[in-house]
Structure 1
Amino acid sequence: MASWLYSLGKLAARKRWWFISAWLAVMVAVGASVAAFGGTLSNSFTIPGTAAQQVLDRLKTDLPESSGGLGTIVFKAADGQAFTAKQKAAVEKIAGTLADHPAVKSATDPFELQSALDDAPERIADGGTELKQAKQRLADGRAAIDAAKAQLEPAKVQLQAAQAQAAQLEAAGQAAMAAQVRAQLQPQETQLEAAEKQLAKQERKLEDGQAKYDDGVADLASAKIRMQSSEGVRFVSDTGDVAFMQVSFEQSMMEVSKEDRAAVQHIAEDGLVPGLQAEFSKDIVEDISSLFGAAEAIGIAVAAAVLVIMLGTLVAAGLPLLMAVVGVGVGVGGTMALSGVVEMSSISPVLALMLGLAVGIDYSLFIVNRHRTQLLAGMPLQESIGRATGTSGNAVLFAGLTVIIALAALAVPGIPFLTVLGLAGAATVAVAVLVALTLTPALLGVIGSRILSRRAWAKAGGGAAAAGLPAGAPAGNGTKRSWGRAVTRHPWLALLAGVVVLGAMALPAAELRLGLPDGSSEPADSTAYRAYTQLGKSFGDGINGPLIVVADLPAGLDGTEQDRMLLKLSQELRAMDHVTAAIPVNTSEDGRTAVLQVVPDGGPAAESTEDLVHTLRTEAGALQAATGVEGVAVTGQPAMQIDVSDRLAEAMPVYLAIVIGLSLVLLLLVFRSILVPLLATAGFLLSLGASFGAVVAIYQWGWLGGVFEVHDPGPILSFLPMILIGVLFGLAMDYQMFLVSGMRESYAHGEDARAAVVSGFNHGARVVTAAAIIMVSVFAGFVFSHLTMVRPIGFALALGVLLDAFVVRMTLIPAAMHLFGKAAWWLPQWLERILPDVDVEGAKLVARAEAGADEEPELEPALR
């Protein structure tokens, strides 16, 4: 591989404009693809097949009106007084305008709902009085009809007797007399018939009244049940100065476009009147279209300063930065282009951006640094470019592969959004490697001797070449004063101190609790945070994340029977710990599926809410036995977040085991040693545990919250641990490779094992230090990102790299290697025979080149 990369580097230097043009074409194509195919990102995280997701999928079929997304608008009177009539009318108008928007299913008028709740007792009392009066009227009407029937009965008997007499006369042959009698009876018959019709009409009217009365009784019973079920629910605060409107969308929040969210905000803001304020929940206002903010730019500026200090010229410092920008542009751009066809969370391109910047700078820096060293030793320009690509470039390739494999392994747990996240990061790192191996040598060919400053060229006269060192050999390995020499002088002290410090930092990790961000994690000056806190203050924290309970009702129930059964279920739910309210909100047309909204006493990320979700699931059978309903299940945003966190927590040990196993195999191949991989992996676990501990202390416990803008400590982002494991593993192996491979090379060239630790350390320490500082700077830039979900990730990665590079790789590993001495490089003979020689540092390439190198240096520095 080293020989192939050597040839690639020389080709890129010779055909530099072809390579540069190819990358420009790729960037243009990617940019066009983003414009043409880019879709919408989301901060919603779901896992198909979880309990909450299954219930939501069922609702989409059985009760689609209850399955759309839900956002909240909080209205407040600016003066702290109760809303005026004008302000209430404005809110009512806003609700009506929102309801007419195509993306909105409905928007509640809080004052209308609160009025209905407040007036319910009086209306029920009035309804009871009206029913009593109606009942009395029905009784009076029945009595009047019975009296009229009683009065008609003698007349009917008398008429029937006269008709019988007429019939007898006719039978006796006295037809004329019979006709005379019937003629005299005619008026009486007509009068009696009219009276009976009137009675029949009155009876029908009485029956209609009875039916209305029965309906009224049923409605009153249902109203009483609904009133009882709505206890503890308010839409306007007790003080009358805060109200909230629930906006139901046609689609899930993940599918609601940025334009529709913005339209909802504009409609609400345009409808405000003086003294009326509106704040919007995180679901409505989250804008993740911008991936790069001011804080991230500061991190890049620090990285640029480190490069200038290390490399001495703006041209040399700008090259790694340019390579990182190209890699990020292509990698992140490709990710964004796929967002139109792949469901993608906002964190995917952000992680790709974070990694692309960090490794893009570092990988190019490794090659540039080797190239500069070789030029100063007198190596010809194109030969130096090829050699740097074949040696440091080979290490870059192998280091990049470790990061790529670790990130791609995020697909192993089978969680879709995590798979996309891992593959997006892996693809961007792969692009960074390709840029380093092809575009960097091409631009080195363009830059030529300007990669070094005048002062560097001037000093080169008495440098490596004058000292008779071979071209490209690292100078200064015998430095008397170095951190590596200090560590190996007191190895036990360094080892114990490092382990104690990292172990102490890892202690809080035992309290790690996973979750997903809610409004409480938003910046304190954001409308989402103000809406969240105002809702919690006025209506209780649980209103920020209500749970949805779905139940199956028996067939054949009438409306009152359904209401009574749901009231019983509501009462049973209210009796549970951590439940503030349980309100029936909807029933399917066939009366078989019912939905209740359960308001917890804690916020969406509260531990009590998590306990409640698990209790609802374990007590589903008891609820069915007590109420007669079937299939009691829970969903809602908090339940879905809890399910995601639980699944990720279950997958984390498996993923960690995969990464550790991968670490041991890769390091065994690279270093051909049993002990070195074990030491490297143990160091990785120490830095990982310390990073976890620091994240828990700051973001979960709130330590140093003022420094890191953690105003509401809560659970740790549920997928942060797996991201940290994958990324930190890959980067730790980078530093392990660049430092320890130098030790192995010195040992292989016959140096004493303990002396090789120092010389190898000195060989790679300077560039690894710069690379680590750059990577920490880039990651630290995300600690104060405008995307709050990214902040703990940036902190964890920055601290993890800092600890792993300087405490583990540059302190613990040299100390342990010194203590073990020659035993550190022991490998069984049978294993030695079967392991392939990957030659990561390209030592064989250097040896072959030096053995056959008899050509004169062809580079005459232009500035000399």
Structure 2
Amino acid sequence: MASVLFRVGRFCFRHKWWVIATWLLAAITVGGLVGALSPKFAKDFSLPGTDSGTATSQIEEYFPQVMEQQSQASTSVLVAADDGLAAHTDQINALVDDLTTLPELTDPSTVVNPVVAAQANPAIAGSVLGDEGRVGLIQIRQNIEIMDLTVEEKEQLQEILAEHRGDGLQVEATGSLMQVMEPGGTAELIGFAVAFVVMIVAFGALVAAFIPLITGLVGVMITIMLLTLSAEFLNINETATAIVTMLGIAVSIDYALFIVSRYRTERMRGGDPADAAGRAVGTAGTAVVFAGLTVIIAVAALMVIGIPLITQMGMGAAVAVFMAVLAALTLIPALLGAVGRFAFTPRIPWIKHAAESPTYDTVGVKFGRTVVNRPIPFIVAGLAVLALAAIPMSKMELGMSLTSDDEAQAQTLLQRGFGEGINGPLLVVLHTEDGDVSAAAESAVDHIATLDGVANAATLTWMGNGTPQPQVGADTALISVTPISAPSDAATHDLMETIRDYTPTAEAAGVELHVGGQTAILSDLSAKLDSALIPYLVVVVGLAFLIMIGVFRSIWVPLIGTLGFIFSVLATFGMTVLFFQEGALGLIDNTKPILSFLPIFLIGVVFGLAMDYQVFLVTRMREEYIHGMTAKDAIVTGYRHGARVVTSAAIIMISVFAAFMLAPDTTAKMLGFSLAVAVAFDAFIIRMMVVPAIIALLGDRAWGLPKWLDRLVVDFDIEGGAVRNRGLEHLDTDTTRDTVASAT
């Protein structure tokens, strides 16, 4: 592989303008298609193969009007006053008048003062007034698809709420309009800015610092446009774009950083610049390929879970990593060829020893030598820190909530006035092929009304389909059950399962029963994620472990790396629970359970990233070891060549992920925080401390395979031995020394 990549790097360097033009043409083409087709992301969830997925399909088929209503914008405005809403009638009337100015209301006459509505029709008082008249509900329905709502329409509503809030009246909103996400960009810009500063320090030159940024920007732009374009043909949820952006930016810049750093080293060795680019791609590029492959396996394997949203996230992230690898192998050498001898200019005079030196002991070298000489204290201290950080994990609560931080106060009022489950009904569907579901539906209603945890037991009823009189002769029935508990509570999940326990009774009457609705879908999602965790771990860790055996030609190094990953990911779970669930240091205003899909997704992504640093740091150690150095000296040399680069790469990735803490939705915040913490733990404690320390303890035993296994494992030549001196054969020692001097 190294020989092939050497030729790729040299070709791209020499044919730089054609390569750059090809990338630009690809970006323009994909961008043009996106602009022409204007695809839209979906905002709904589907769980094929689950009970809630079946219920959703039946609701779509037999109750299209219900699905249509759910696809239309619906927003709840909550008003509250400690002295009673009746004392604020005029203020609420003015609020209602302004709310009727919102665009495309389904029926403006239904937007009414809850106090007035309750007085006019006492039968509905309980649905519009709560908490003894201190909390009121105003429902706004619009003839607009939820995905077509705009930020401007959300801002219009927020201005109305702010104008009428005060004088003892609290006014909040929740629902479709409040869930419109403001366009991103801030987090990405901050990530790029930090990355630029870090690379200036890493390279000590401005031009070289720009090159990884360019490739990162191009790779992520093309990936996001491809993902957007796929939404024209597939049901792609927009939530998938967040992780694609985060991961795409991070790995694009990281991989570019490794290639450019190796190119600088090869230029210092002398010879033709094109050959230096070839050697950089043939050595560091080989590591990039295998590092990228481990990440791709980790995120693509998310499809084994069988959840469309998770599959979309995984496949989108896999495409982003593939584009990052492709850009590193082709666009980077082309850009290096374009800038020529100006690649590492202008030098920043106050940044010393930015270039690798064979004699100067950098901080990284000194640290590495200390780790090698005293490995046990570093092993004990590193694992102890991670073990302490993991302690809060024992309190982890998993759940799913689609409400944004903007809705938190409205949700509190809604629960106070109308119960926690008011916004999360369970939709029970009964269907029969015999043509009359009436008797079974009546029996189901009577049974569900007796269950604990049903808030609307007294008014529980059903609607049917198939005839002008829906409740006579219908073949399908729909029952809306409002839980007392919140949608993400365990009690709501228990109620859902209790309703499903009635299925055998329904089947005895020739009727199938399924429970759906958003609450049921999210509950099934959590259950499915739990059941898929072990198979997923087996697939990801198993495949990656086999690849690592081939990469390092060792059993011990992959084993140490994998076990170290377990420590770092458990510590990450602990810190995420501490700040997001327990609310430590007030980092999050509205604490909530850990997202159900976070553990399995974090495991996949972080395992891939962990193996990245394992590959980039440890392969250099192995490279020096197989070329004659002692085991300990090889580790120190690995620090000399890799510590600055790996540290810079980790800081960049941490910064990119942490910048997403500025995102408006908690999902992105939680993902960004957990990924940033995971990279910090894994890169600085496991990869830079624990792994080298254990390798130092093992000595020569770390770098070997049993003879029978050695014959079976393919030699990938990840160290680039086949191209290590390609293009330097004609140089004698004096010429090489002169070339190095001129390059530096």
TM-score by length of 2: 0.87
Distance, in Å, in 2 between the alignment partners of 1:463 and 1:34 is 42
Give the deviation of 1:660 after TM superposition.
0.9
Q: Which residue of 2 aligns with 1:530?
A: 409
Which among 183, 188, 192 is matched to residue 290 of structure 1? 183
Cα gap change, 1:773 to 1:617, in 2 (>3 Å): same
Q: Which residue of 1 aligns with 2:459?
A: 583
Distance, in Å, in 2 between the alignment partners of 1:556 and 1:113 is 43
Counterpart of 1:656 in structure 2: which amino acid?
Answer: L
Give the deviation of 1:79 after TM superposition.
9.6
Q: Which residue of 1 aligns with 2:33?
A: 33
Distance, in Å, in 2 between the alignment partners of 1:671 and 1:563 is 64
Cα gap change, 1:314 to 1:583, in 2 (>3 Å): farther
Which among 499, 523, 527 is matched to residue 616 of structure 1? 499
How does 1:738-817 map onto structure 2 within 5 Å? Answer: 738-817=616-695
Give the deviation of 1:517 after TM superposition.
2.4
Distance, in Å, in 2 between the alignment partners of 1:376 and 1:518 is 54
Cα gap change, 1:764 to 1:863, in 2 (>3 Å): closer
Distance, in Å, in 2 between the alignment partners of 1:106 and 1:684 is 59
Pairing 1:600–2:463 present: no
Mapped contact 2:30–2:225 kept (Cα < 8 A): yes
Secondary structure of the equivalent of 1:72? strand
The Cα offsets for residues 90-137 of structure 1, whole Å up to 9 and x where unpaired, read as: 7888999989757x89967674996389635xxxxxxxxxxxxxxxxx
Secondary structure of the equivalent of 1:281? strand
Give the deviation of 1:312 after TM superposition.
1.5
Pairing 1:438–2:330 present: yes
Q: Which residue of 2 aligns with 1:489?
A: 373
Distance, in Å, in 1 between the alignment partners of 2:158 and 2:579 is 37
Figure out how many residues of one structure are paired with residues of the other and give that number: 728
Secondary structure of the equivalent of 1:781? helix
Counterpart of 1:497 in structure 2: which amino acid?
Answer: A
Cα gap change, 1:248 to 1:585, in 2 (>3 Å): farther
Q: Which residue of 2 aligns with 1:505?
A: 389
Q: Which residue of 2 aligns with 1:334?
A: 226
Secondary structure of the equivalent of 1:49? coil
Q: Which residue of 2 aligns with 1:637?
A: 518
Distance, in Å, in 2 between the alignment partners of 1:105 and 1:9 is 65
Cα gap change, 1:795 to 1:582, in 2 (>3 Å): farther
The Cα offsets for residues 414-442 of structure 1, whole Å up to 9 and x where unpaired, read as: 22222221111111111111111111111
Pairing 1:697–2:573 present: no
Mapped contact 2:205–2:346 kept (Cα < 8 A): no
Secondary structure of the equivalent of 1:35? helix
Distance, in Å, in 2 between the alignment partners of 1:516 and 1:819 is 45
Q: Which residue of 1 aligns with 2:16?
A: 16
Mapped contact 2:182–2:664 kept (Cα < 8 A): no
Mapped contact 1:235–1:244 kept (Cα < 8 A): yes
Mapped contact 2:41–2:147 kept (Cα < 8 A): no
Give the deviation of 1:337 after TM superposition.
1.7
Q: Which residue of 2 aligns with 1:137?
A: none
Mapped contact 1:106–1:249 kept (Cα < 8 A): no
Distance, in Å, in 2 between the alignment partners of 1:479 and 1:257 is 52
Q: Which residue of 1 aligns with 2:198?
A: 306
Counterpart of 1:259 in structure 2: which amino acid?
Answer: L
Cα gap change, 1:483 to 1:459, in 2 (>3 Å): closer
Q: Which residue of 2 aligns with 1:52?
A: 52
Give the deviation of 1:608 after TM superposition.
2.4
Distance, in Å, in 1 between the alignment partners of 2:362 and 2:147 is 62
Distance, in Å, in 1 between the alignment partners of 2:221 and 2:303 is 24
Distance, in Å, in 2 between the alignment partners of 1:854 and 1:53 is 71
Cα gap change, 1:109 to 1:337, in 2 (>3 Å): same
Give the deviation of 1:597 after TM superposition.
3.2
Q: Which residue of 1 aligns with 2:4?
A: 4
Q: Which residue of 2 aligns with 1:363?
A: 255
Give the deviation of 1:17 after TM superposition.
1.3
Counterpart of 1:24 in structure 2: which amino acid?
Answer: L
Q: Which residue of 2 aligns with 1:826?
A: 704
Pairing 1:74–2:66 present: no
How does 1:203-242 map onto structure 2 within 5 Å? Answer: 233-240=126-133, 242=135
Distance, in Å, in 2 between the alignment partners of 1:15 and 1:358 is 27
Structure 2: gaps spanning 5 or more residues: 465-469
Cα gap change, 1:93 to 1:848, in 2 (>3 Å): closer
Mapped contact 1:566–1:584 kept (Cα < 8 A): no
Identity %: 37
Secondary structure of the equivalent of 1:542? coil
Structure 1: gaps spanning 5 or more residues: 121-229, 465-471
Give the deviation of 1:725 after TM superposition.
1.7
TM-score by length of 1: 0.75
Give the deviation of 1:807 after TM superposition.
0.7
The Cα offsets for residues 536-561 of structure 1, whole Å up to 9 and x where unpaired, read as: 222222223232334579999999x9
Distance, in Å, in 1 between the alignment partners of 2:351 and 2:112 is 78
Distance, in Å, in 2 between the alignment partners of 1:478 and 1:90 is 69
Which among 202, 216, 226 is matched to residue 324 of structure 1? 216
Distance, in Å, in 2 between the alignment partners of 1:271 and 1:828 is 71
The Cα offsets for residues 337-375 of structure 1, whole Å up to 9 and x where unpaired, read as: 222222112222221111111111111111111122232
Which among 526, 531, 535 is matched to residue 650 of structure 1? 531
Distance, in Å, in 2 between the alignment partners of 1:425 and 1:332 is 10
Which among 399, 402, 408 is matched to residue 518 of structure 1? 402
Distance, in Å, in 1 between the alignment partners of 2:39 and 2:323 is 22
**Larger radius of gyration between Structure 1 and Structure 2:** 1
Mapped contact 1:582–1:597 kept (Cα < 8 A): no
RMSD of Structure 2 on Structure 1 (CA)? 4.0
Give the deviation of 1:646 after TM superposition.
1.0
Distance, in Å, in 2 between the alignment partners of 1:567 and 1:668 is 60
Cα gap change, 1:530 to 1:793, in 2 (>3 Å): same
Mapped contact 2:161–2:172 kept (Cα < 8 A): no
Counterpart of 2:706 in structure 1: which amino acid?
Answer: P
How does 1:164-313 map onto structure 2 within 5 Å? Answer: 233-240=126-133, 242-246=135-139, 256-259=146-149, 279-288=172-181, 290-292=183-185, 294-313=186-205
Secondary structure of the equivalent of 1:587? strand
Mapped contact 1:514–1:649 kept (Cα < 8 A): no
Mapped contact 2:258–2:645 kept (Cα < 8 A): yes
Counterpart of 1:538 in structure 2: which amino acid?
Answer: G
Cα gap change, 1:91 to 1:557, in 2 (>3 Å): farther
Counterpart of 1:547 in structure 2: which amino acid?
Answer: L
Q: Which residue of 2 aligns with 1:115?
A: 118
Cα gap change, 1:63 to 1:22, in 2 (>3 Å): closer
Distance, in Å, in 2 between the alignment partners of 1:516 and 1:331 is 27
Q: Which residue of 2 aligns with 1:347?
A: 239
Which segment is superposed worse, 410-419 or 849-858?
849-858
Cα gap change, 1:378 to 1:763, in 2 (>3 Å): same
Cα gap change, 1:549 to 1:250, in 2 (>3 Å): farther
Distance, in Å, in 2 between the alignment partners of 1:562 and 1:736 is 61
Distance, in Å, in 2 between the alignment partners of 1:717 and 1:105 is 37
The Cα offsets for residues 305-341 of structure 1, whole Å up to 9 and x where unpaired, read as: 1111121122121111111111111111111122222
Distance, in Å, in 2 between the alignment partners of 1:700 and 1:377 is 53
Q: Which residue of 2 aligns with 1:667?
A: 548
Give the deviation of 1:36 after TM superposition.
2.0
Counterpart of 2:371 in structure 1: which amino acid?
Answer: V
Distance, in Å, in 2 between the alignment partners of 1:100 and 1:660 is 52
Distance, in Å, in 2 between the alignment partners of 1:105 and 1:365 is 58
Give the deviation of 1:670 after TM superposition.
0.7
Distance, in Å, in 1 between the alignment partners of 2:503 and 2:109 is 31
The Cα offsets for residues 141-177 of structure 1, whole Å up to 9 and x where unpaired, read as: xxxxxxxxxxxxxxxxxxxxxxxxxxxxxxxxxxxxx
Distance, in Å, in 2 between the alignment partners of 1:828 and 1:455 is 48
Distance, in Å, in 2 between the alignment partners of 1:780 and 1:339 is 28
